[in-house]
Amino acid sequence: MVSFLNDVVVDLQKKNADFSHLTFILPSKRAGVFLKHNISKHLNKTIFAPRILSIEEFIESLSNLTYADNTELLFEFYNVYLKHTPKEQIEPFDTFSKWGQMLLQDFNEIDRYLVSPNHIFDYLNAIKEIEHQHWSLDENQTSYVKNYLAFWNRLKLLYTELNNQLIQNKKGYQGLVYKEAIENLEQFIASQTNVTYIFVGFNALNKAEEIIIQELLQQNIAHIYWDIDASFVEDQIHDAGLFIRAHKKKWHYFNTESFNWLSNYYTSEKTINCIGAPKNIGQIKYVGELLSNLKTQKKSLEHTAIVLGDESLLIPLLNSIPKNIGPINITMGLPLSNIPMASLFENLFRLHKSDAQTLYYKDVITILSNPFVKPLFNSEGNSVSDNIIYDIQQNNISYISIDTLKTLAINESEIIDLLFGSWHNNSETALKQCSRLILEIKAVLDKNKQNNLLALEYLYRFNVVFNELETLNNTYSYIHNIATLFGLYKELLKSETLDFKGEPLKGLQIMGMLESRVLDFETVIITSVNEGILPAGKSNSSFIPFDVKLENNMPTYKEKDAVYTYHFYRLLQRAQDIHIIYNTEPDVLNGGEKSRFITQLEIDDTHNIRHYLVSPKVPITDQNLIEITKSSNIIEALKCYSKSGFSPSSLTNYIRNPLDFYYEKILGIKQYEDVEENVALNTLGTVIHNTLEDFYKPLENQNLTLGHITKMKSNIDNTVSQHFKAVYKKGDITKGKNLIIYKIAKHYISNFLNLEQKAIKEGNTIKIIAIETKNEVPIKIDGLDFPIILTGKVDRVDEYNGVTRIIDYKSGRVEQSKVEIVNWEDITSDYDKYSKSFQVLMYAYMMHKQKKIELPVEAGIISFKKLGSGFMKFGKKASKGTRTKDNFITEDTLSAFEAELKKLIFEICNPEINFIEKEV
């Protein structure tokens, strides 16, 4: 493959050009490195290197102005806006910034295309007057109408004053710099001696660039080399040649001079693959596979480029490149917003934006968990931050004060103040605190500098950002609150990048579409070739209507699409192996179907294009269920646990999944408990259980009376509140969903007492036998030579009209079918269907063994979510399909249950039977 830059150097050699006296002007800085490389390959003598400038650098040198960055421009513009806007119409900076940036972009376009500002602003003002004619003729206009029309009338003044102020400061936005360059062009040309300017690889030029380049060509101190295929220029409707067709037709220079060049590389033989992949990550993973295949085929990656249509996919791409690929050169920088430290400052801004007296626990935990924050605490062993987080979680603290945080932090109150001390909605305080935090983090990282070089580089970049914000704040004093500062911070992060260092001429090249200008590669991989990305599509971010832009020869979305078309096809011109990848699962809201570029390639008969879809390789593997062998240590742990007692919940836990039992009971691993921001169901259940225990415990061995019920009802509020405080700790139950759950708890208990009251009024007798009675029963199992205990607390035992009932309370919904069984062997195999039956039968078994009850008895569930069903009794059905069932628990019932219970415990304790995970 012969590159375009190589052709340019060869042609200049043929013309005996003195490279030392040439100044090359390129579309971007990036191409300069490759141009120098090509020059060095062809020259066999020592020379002074030619000057190589980007077009923006060249125009800047012509104008005698320097480019101002976007944020500085916005502040300068606001300064002008304040001077020339009536006080009653002035908007705060954060509101102004939302439309100010758009207006600056319009000013930029007006100047780049040398449109008369008087003409366009008068035109816009007239349009608004016509659109709202009934407003302008109305004698009784509201202040809103007056302000709206005055704004359009004021645009010309704002534009003029901003230009004057910027020129006075020797600064400018791009359009102003270009306009000033035109003013200085004649003087510049007169000062040139023995210098030739070579313009290389341009396509879309604004009006100012066209005039400058044409004038230099006419004065015979410049040459221009175009990089386009003849087929695009000759096809009068192909957008790739839109601009160059216009230049060739309209520039007087080409009436007498040759047009360098129209090449014929595009029609040469190429392999073009159009690949559809699901989602962005699907595309990137396929790129990784593609690189592996290229490496396997022993293709050199020296002339391979990955062009990212969506540059936000850089990090996923870097994580997907195979390790054996070798050197990689990344042209684009990594936005600061994508690096880990960005989340710390973003979280700090979000926390302090409200300036509330108390802090939301999730915001506090997020900051304390940050890997750059935890080392700031000087404690040994467990981190102070971990202890604070643990305390918040254990006490269900949804909102926490800084004083409480200081108390929990013991001797680390300075760090707490630094992180959580109020910024008082003051930008100066915020910037000082952030700068202090950066210094604190740096001091910690410096202790182990060699291992923290990358983190220190992150820190330096953020220090630059905050220094810039501080300078702007001190210079202009328009940042009055945290919300405005946060907005500016995010804007700066978009433009600030962490640049990669590498050898630009070696290895695989990774770049964005604009970085590919003028460069050629044998193998090209282009990702995200979807509508809305390539090309970018319509954008409405302008105050100037579409028809006004057309009339004034300003670019619209159509011209922007043509720019992308040129870049896309230029990449294909000299390439031989092309892979065009698009997302087959576009965003539902934003559209983004397969790009029109692919459809255009399909219609074009020049090349044979292969289409295929790919999907992530999902290996078909057998489900490898975890299996834990019962070692001697595990057996010893089982013996200890057996001695402390198997409870109904632990046994049903084993039935559900033996591995859960192993983790919880043998290894002692508890489930992670986060803050209960809203009262959890198990907390609600505990409150109900404890309240009823308080009510009924004093009545053991007594008959329940209406007087008892009345007294209980009068104590519902106090007792429920007391237990919520005990169980939910510092959680707030005075508002929101928690208040509803608190009222539900009282409602459940009140309804339950109403049922009891109704039963007594109907002549039933209820005698309370035992409340929350604890049972411990030894059980002998053949084959196991160590003691085994059964344990468990029964919620309630009573006599209802002389029949003993064992009752288990459930705060959730339970259906009658959940306390019925057909076959005894199922009771230890199906958790979902039979766990409730297992529990009540085990309670009955233990109480019978302890001789606390006499058989027959009834056992069952009272569901507080289904109180209308009353006491749902356990029942043994005769067989499936029959309705007959026996609700009484007898000796035969418990004997049958005992057999299954012993089998289950023997399985748990048997060294020969491993803990095997159940399929979910």
* DSSP line for 355-387: --SEEEHHHHHHHHT-TTTGGGS--SSS-HHHH
Percent of the chain with pLDDT over 90: 58
Sign for the pseudo-dihedral over CA of 522, 525, 529, 533: negative
| Least confident interval from 161-170, 678-687, 892-901 | 678-687
Mean pLDDT of the 532-556 span: 86
The contacts of residue 454 (CB under 8 Å, 6+ apart) are none
Does residue 622 carry a pLDDT above 70?
A: no
Number of H helices, E strands in the chain: 35, 30
Q: How far from each other are the two terminal CA atoms of the chain, in whole angstroms?
A: 57
| Angle, CA 80 vertex, CA 78 and CA 81 arms, to 5° | 60
> What's the chain's average pLDDT?
89
* Predicted pLDDT of residue 380: 57
Residue in 40, 44, 31, 43 with CA at minimum distance from that of residue 5: 31
β strands within 336-457, DSSP E: 358-360, 399-401
CA–CA separation, 444 vs 378, rounded Å? Answer: 10
The pLDDT-based confidence of 142 (bands split at 50, 70, 90) is: low
Residues 699-724: pLDDT tens digits? 999 999 999 999 999 999 999 999 98
Mean pLDDT of the 265-283 span: 91
The pLDDT-based confidence of 353 (bands split at 50, 70, 90) is: confident
The pLDDT-based confidence of 312 (bands split at 50, 70, 90) is: confident
Does residue 662 carry a pLDDT above 80?
A: yes
* Predicted pLDDT of residue 673: 63
* Predicted pLDDT of residue 863: 93
CA–CA separation, 32 vs 198, rounded Å? Answer: 12
Mean pLDDT of the 162-191 span: 94
| Least confident interval from 214-223, 321-330, 743-752 | 321-330
* Predicted pLDDT of residue 737: 87
CA–CA separation, 188 vs 197, rounded Å? Answer: 13
Residue in 339, 345, 287, 343 with CA at minimum distance from that of residue 315: 339
Mean pLDDT of the 143-150 span: 73
Distances, alpha carbon 2 to alpha carbons 24, 198, 610, in Å:
20, 20, 25
* Predicted pLDDT of residue 503: 76
Question: Residues 416, 405: contact at Cβ < 8 Å?
Answer: yes
Residue type, 628: I
Query: Comparing 335 with 909, which gets the higher pLDDT?
Result: 909
* Predicted pLDDT of residue 141: 60
Does residue 410 carry a pLDDT above 90?
A: no
Does residue 640 carry a pLDDT above 50?
A: yes
Residue in 466, 448, 464, 564 with CA at minimum distance from that of residue 516: 564
Instruction: Give the helix ranges, DSSP H, for 52-116.
Output: 55-63, 70-83, 93-112
Q: Where do we find the tokens 């430290």?
A: 341
Residues 435-491: pLDDT tens digits? 999 999 999 999 988 888 888 988 999 999 999 999 988 888 888 889 889 988 988
Mean pLDDT of the 593-606 span: 89
Mean pLDDT of the 410-419 span: 87
Other C-beta atoms closer than 10 Å to the C-beta of 374 total 14
Using DSSP's 3-state secondary structure scheme, residue 581 falls into strand
* Predicted pLDDT of residue 381: 47
Question: Residues 109, 555: contact at Cβ < 8 Å?
Answer: yes
Using DSSP's 3-state secondary structure scheme, residue 636 falls into helix
* Predicted pLDDT of residue 905: 95
CA–CA separation, 85 vs 374, rounded Å? Answer: 49
Instruction: Give the helix ranges, DSSP H, for 762-863.
Output: 831-849
* Predicted pLDDT of residue 78: 92
Does residue 89 carry a pLDDT above 90?
A: no
* Predicted pLDDT of residue 920: 64
CA–CA separation, 763 vs 801, rounded Å? Answer: 9
For residue 805, what are the β-bridge partners? Answer: 798, 858
Mean pLDDT of the 2-10 span: 93
Query: Comparing 640 with 589, which gets the higher pLDDT?
Result: 640
CA–CA separation, 210 vs 208, rounded Å? Answer: 5
CA–CA separation, 158 vs 181, rounded Å? Answer: 22
Distances, alpha carbon 714 to alpha carbons 332, 403, 690, 708, in Å:
72, 38, 16, 10
Question: Residues 422, 402: contact at Cβ < 8 Å?
Answer: yes
